[in-house]
Amino acid sequence: QVQLVESGGGLVQAGGSLRLSCAASGSIYRINVMGWYRQAPGKQRELVAAYVIARGGSTNYADSVKGRFTISRDNANNTVYLQMNNLRPEDTAVYYCNVQGAAIDYVGVEYWGKGTRVTVSS
């Protein structure tokens, strides 16, 4: 059974910082991508940042967070982090950890965390 355990959400004032973490556990044979999505009320879920292992650890970010957020990975522990600086009220959302990988027979698999809420007050 695969589990994604997220932590680090909370309430902060504009300009503040938070660090989200997501630890993956269970029988994932190979992890290809670890990332963060978010969904605000009335909006669709969107990609915030991704760490693409298959590309040698390349990263990509939504334009709205570029320069403020940083994604990183602890390879040994299958943990991904999202450092969020200079937070804005429009960053308020539920943030979801996402893992894409492959089973031992290379069948593609995808898992989601339950989400952690981030609220940024003005």
CA pair distance 109, 116, nearest whole angstrom:
22
Give the pLDDT of the chain (122 residues) as one tens digit per residue: 789 999 999 999 999 999 999 998 887 778 899 999 999 999 999 999 999 987 778 999 999 999 999 999 987 778 999 999 999 999 999 999 999 988 888 888 999 999 999 999 99
Residue pLDDT, tens place only, 80-111: 999 999 999 999 999 999 999 888 888 889 99
CA pair distance 62, 44, nearest whole angstrom:
14
CA pair distance 76, 115, nearest whole angstrom:
23
